[in-house]
Structure 1
Amino acid sequence: MTMEETLANWRQEEFQKALSMMEQALSVLSEQNDIVKQKDCALFFNVSVNLLKDWVKQGAPEIRLENGSPFYSKKAITEWLLRHQK
């Protein structure tokens, strides 16, 4: 095997490793929990908890457990915000 072939094989292997690492990172990001507690949702959108509660009064989706604990889907809130933009 020539030096050029060896180098080409090495580059291909390194490319495949890098591609695999990127695919794994994207998979982890997409699997992160979308459902969050009230405070975490407010932090995600960089708003106060009171503003988040106002959004719910205006129709933003909220998940209430039997014990009354509120949870939110970041994706559902984002979609709601986009539908209500002026």
Structure 2
Amino acid sequence: MINKIKKNDKVIIISGKNKGKIGKVYKIISKSKVFIKGLNLFKKHQKPIPSINQIGGIFKKENYIHISNIIKFDKYHNKLNKKKLTLNKKY
């Protein structure tokens, strides 16, 4: 599979709890997981650590989304980019 999604690309989520939302990719890890700014948030419960002056509480963090659950968004035509990739086969 050819990965056409890069950092700072505008993408739309096609499955999951954030289906239909548009965001910008800001980090890619292991060629199959991406972080999208402001989407796929979860709550992290953090205990206070007084030795390093870290406060505790409930914080919102972004979780990764698998690359198969997103599609590149065409900013020029304001629509999805659903071009299919074909492999050149020699017969």
Specify the TM-score bucket, using the shorter chain as the normaliser: under 0.3
Q: Under a length normalisation based on structure 2, what TM-score does the superposition of the two structures give?
A: 0.20
Bigger proportion of residues as helix: 1
- Pair member with larger Rg: 1
Q: Under a length normalisation based on structure 1, what TM-score does the superposition of the two structures give?
A: 0.21
